[in-house]
Amino acid sequence: MGYTEEYNKWRNKLDEADPLYEELLSIEGNDAEIEDRFYKDMSFGTAGLRGKIGAGTNRMNRLTVGRATQGIADLIVEEGEEACGKGVVIAHDPRHFSKEFSILTACIFAANGIKAYIFDDLRPTPQLAYVIRQLGTISGINITASHNPKDYNGYKAYWSDGCQVGSDIADKMTEKIQAVDLFDGVKVADYDLAVTDGLITVLPHEWDRKYLDEIESLSIHRGDELDLTIPIVYTPLNGAGHVPFTTMLKDMGYKNWHEVKEQSMPDPDFTTVGYPNPEDTKAFALAEKLGKEVGAELLMATDPDSDRFAIEIARPDGSYLPLNGNQTGYILVNYILEGRKSAGKLPANGAMVKSIVTSSLSTIIAESYGVKMYESLTGFKNICGRIPFLEENSLQYLFGYEESVGYAASENIRDKDGISAGMLVAEAAAYYKKQGKTLLDVLNEIYDKYGYFAEDEPNIILEGIEGAERIGRMMATTRADLPTEVAGLKVEKVIDYKDGYEDIPASNVLRFFLEDGSWFAVRPSGTEPKIKFYFYAKAESREAAMEKNKKIRDEIFSTIQKVK
């Protein structure tokens, strides 16, 4: 069925008083808009669903959410009565329709005889990941679009291991979802009756405390080892982080922390920030303003569902230096290993995990402590998905991270967690301050000791059908004509992950290694209309590395942007 026919089908099926019908009526005659909304079904991948909110098969709405939930319910029912009894945990972020979609999701599971656990309000994504394993549920669902703009929402699916579903489970879910009739194939229970019947349970607040206890157990140094008067500013960017993050700061004894009040409460329009991504330095505007007022040495931010975490650190002149995800990762890897060693808690069988597009400097740091750094595909379903392998091989998981400001410090929270990352970064800042050092001092010491790297992770945004097709052509052209020299440096090795590589599964990623230890990679985003690049140059100084990185980036961008 073509997009025009699908549009007309929705018009015929929906009641005229339905807001979705009214939305479709408003785009009548706009062929480009109709095509974008109906040219495909919203794809259910290993990250679940994510897209703009609105009417259409390629949009987030109650029908596409209902269809996805019914398909997952059908899979769980097929797993048997025990799986249904284990149930599903459901959480949501502050976005438009997130709470409504979460309740709809619970009612669909209940209608299929599957126990549903929900929270009374928004919660961090990592808390959902933690509760799944603690309750022993078969699955988990989070209604969130993470750091995307306000007109997006999403649907993340987890399995019993507490990780986002891998491709094996996602493929089974996709098959079931595609078999569901969008309009007539979804069962929905009455919410109040389902609560009365015990099929929907609102989780008590004790799970908030258990989640924070898990995070606070990761602390390495306490008491007199820390300068708890260090001035800190935190912003939840109008997301789910306000309560857990500020509670954590109080629990850990910090005496001079400040929250950006304009961004403390949930706001689905993210009025004070626009694009609520802590990777974007513009998101720190209000935090910087407050930081200068209170003399803060550390600024911290979490995204709307509190899984991403980023920082800015004070320069000697009082301005703030934004750290990219790799740099924060260097500090965390160094602090965890140095701290555990000084406390006599560094295991002989320690292991860490990073993604294949994350800087290799962290590998150098880890190996200097006798810790093995493993690699995985991007995404924490893959990073934390390594934990069972480590356990089977008698290795102790210490930390996992990727360059896109995601960090996982607990083996019991198998997703990136901005709250635990914040706890460890604040502790590191307080620990080093006690020694008369700043985090900037520590970062420079890392470069001095292990080598000078420059990191750059730019992307090209190409929206819509044409954008997706152009991204495909960019990848195909690059594969067909692999560069042999970049910025005067020989390409010594190319890894194409399209068919997998060693124990890394197949993925649409190309990675190029240069003769001097620099390298770069390119891949399409799995959740956003972007083609993403990762450049890591190595040189005799930080400045020289940055200059080299720019040359490599400019040459690659000049080539790939010629692909139309």
The pLDDT tens digits of the residues spanning 260-305 come to 999 999 999 999 999 999 999 999 999 999 999 999 999 999 999 9
Q: What is the pLDDT of residue 529?
A: 87
Q: What is the pLDDT of residue 167?
A: 87
Q: What is the pLDDT of residue 46?
A: 65
**How much is the mean pLDDT over the chain?**
96
Cβ-Cβ contacts under 8 Å for 394 (sequence gap 6 or more)? 349
Tell me the C-alpha to C-alpha distance, in Å, between residue 125 and each of 119, 146, 357: 12, 9, 23
State mean pLDDT over 76-96.
97
The strand pair at 88-92 and 139-143 is best described as parallel
Each residue of 496-533: pLDDT tens digit? Answer: 999 999 999 999 999 999 999 999 999 998 777 899 99
Q: Closest Cα to residue 236, out of 288, 182, 273?
A: 273
Each residue of 5-35: pLDDT tens digit? Answer: 999 999 999 999 999 999 999 999 999 999 9
Backbone angles phi, psi at 259, to 5 degrees: -110, 140
Q: Closest Cα to residue 167, out of 385, 8, 347?
A: 385
Q: What is the pLDDT of residue 66?
A: 98
Q: What is the pLDDT of residue 249?
A: 98
Each residue of 391-438: pLDDT tens digit? Answer: 999 999 999 999 999 999 999 999 999 999 999 999 999 999 999 999
Q: What is the pLDDT of residue 1?
A: 77
Each residue of 56-75: pLDDT tens digit? Answer: 999 999 999 999 999 999 99
Whether 116 shows a pLDDT value over 80: the answer reads: yes
Is residue 146 annotated as a catalytic residue, yes or no?
Answer: yes
Q: pLDDT confidence of 441, banded at 50, 70, 90?
A: very high
What does the angle CA 4 – CA 8 – CA 14 come to, to the nearest 5 degrees? 145
Contact 132, 184 (CB under 8 A): no
| Residue tagged active-site, from 139, 146, 360, 376 | 146
Whether 464 shows a pLDDT value over 80: the answer reads: yes
Residue 282 is given by DSSP the state: G
Q: What is the pLDDT of residue 527?
A: 74
Max Cα-Cα span within the chain: 70
Q: pLDDT confidence of 237, banded at 50, 70, 90?
A: very high
Contact 424, 511 (CB under 8 A): no
Q: pLDDT confidence of 43, banded at 50, 70, 90?
A: confident
DSSP 237-268: TTSTTHHHHHHHHHHTT-SSEEE-GGGTS--T
Q: What is the pLDDT of residue 111?
A: 98
Each residue of 468-483: pLDDT tens digit? Answer: 999 999 999 999 999 9
Residue 308 is given by DSSP the state: B
Side-by-side strand order, sheet with 320-322: 257-259, 232-235, 298-302, 309-314, 320-322
Cβ-Cβ contacts under 8 Å for 463 (sequence gap 6 or more)? 529
Strand partners, 233: 258, 299
Contact 14, 34 (CB under 8 A): no
Each residue of 136-175: pLDDT tens digit? Answer: 999 999 999 999 999 999 999 999 999 999 888 999 999 9
Whether 45 shows a pLDDT value over 80: the answer reads: no
Query: Is the model's pTM score more than 0.75?
Result: yes
What element of type H or E holds 432? helix 418-434
